[in-house]
Amino acid sequence: MTMSSANTASLDFFDRLQLITERYLSFRKRKKRLKKEKNKKKNIIVDWIGAFLWAAGMVLLINQYLMQAYRIPSGSMINTLLVGDHLFVNKIIFGPELLPGFGKLPSPIEPKRNDIIIFENPSYIGRGTAFNIAQRIIYMLTLAQVDIDRDEYGEPRPHFLIKRAVGIGGDWFKTENGNLLIRPAGMDHWVDENDFFAQGGMNHNISRLIDENAYPVFRASGKSMAFRDLRLPVPSRLQAPEFQNYRIVYPDNNAIEAARLEVLRGAYPHENRYSIALARINMGTYVPENRILPLGDNRDNSRDGRNFGPVSTSRVLGKALIIYWPGDFGSRRLQSLERFGFIN
């Protein structure tokens, strides 16, 4: 090949390369222009819907598997948690549900004593699978602001409960004058709850609304009820002025029922049902393995494990983590600032 032929071939190669480059750049420019024109034609409503669906999906994923927002509906955990407190719950610690209300991923971590836990209300009666799923999705999407599951009075029906895990597998519990006694596994005597938790270095404040002086009134009331059940006149000793004039705000139904059963057992010693019912109260509650006994810190105004019994650990959905907005922040702003933060 001569020198002139080599130069011609080299020019042809660069010409072809230039042509290919120009075509590629033109293609890219045309593609960008078409994309820009297409975006201009897009409906702004469609854009908003797309952005909302993406954000909703992220909120659902976070709430379902990582951390969920809850709002405290009642005073059962006063003074630890107040009505209206907004908090985040650690959902991953005990294994999150695969879908709202269905399945649960395993976790090596189990709820332990003194944890503040969120669990499914054992007494809750659902309104069908579709409604339950819709209720939970709306609750999560609105960060606990909207609950469509309400009773005939417009109040939210308690699908989930927030209590303290006081008892674990192997424990026995009973009450005396409203005070909780614990007999842990391997122990042969009862210990007052406050002493037990203090010895273990576990701190929590128990609120009591019932005065000790009310318990003679409860016993008199229970015995009076039994005499009426027997269609007998109530003895005058049970109608003393100190009993009649005492104003009961928060009754201890357990103490009233125990006194009623004592009279009925004496009247019908051959009726085992009264002896058995009284024995259940006097012996206390046993917590089987893989279950916990949840109780409210506000003991005299809490519907908890004393009513529905121990709860399976598989029903525990998470652990209370942090108060991100105190319920009393608007009314007592300075005092409420101290309540922001992690929950003990």
Average pLDDT, integer, range 257-275: 94
Residue that has been written with the tokens 């011609």 in this structure = 8
How much is the pLDDT for 340? 85
Q: Does domain 53-169+195-208+287-342 have CATH number 2.10.109.10?
A: yes
Which whole-number Å values give the CA distances from 323 to 72, 315, 342, 343, in the listed order? 10, 23, 6, 7
pTM given for the model: 0.77
Per-residue pLDDT band for 263 (boundaries 50, 70, 90) equals very high
Measured distance CA(337)–CA(326) in Å, rounded: 8
Query: Do the beta carbons of residue 235 and residue 220 sit within 8 Å?
Result: no
- Token code pair at residue 188: 């042969």
Under DSSP, the state recorded for 38 is H
User: What pLDDT band is residue 264 in, cutting at 50, 70 and 90?
Assistant: very high
Contact indicator for 250, 209 with CB cutoff of 8 Å: yes
CA 12 from chain centre, in angstroms, equals: 77
Share of the chain above pLDDT 70, in %: 88
In this prediction, residues 170-197 reach a mean pLDDT of 91
d(CA 277, CA 281): 7
**What integer pLDDT is reported at residue 334 of this predicted model?**
56
Q: How confident is the model at residue 276 (pLDDT cuts 50, 70, 90)?
A: very high
CB-CB contact of 90 with 97 (8 Å): no
Mean pLDDT of all residues belonging to the chain: 85
Domain segments of the chain: what residues? 53-169+195-208+287-342, 213-267
Here the tokens at position 98 are 């695969």
Kindly report, residue by residue over 222-240, the tens digit of the pLDDT: 999 999 999 999 998 998 8
Q: What is the dihedral of CA 28, 30, 36, 42, to 10 degrees?
A: -120
Residue 172 CA to residue 288 CA, distance in Å, equals: 9
pLDDT band at 259 (very low <50, low <70, confident <90, very high): very high
- Reported as type and span, the H/E element at residue 67 is strand 67-71
| Residue 93 · residue 318 · CB < 8 Å | yes
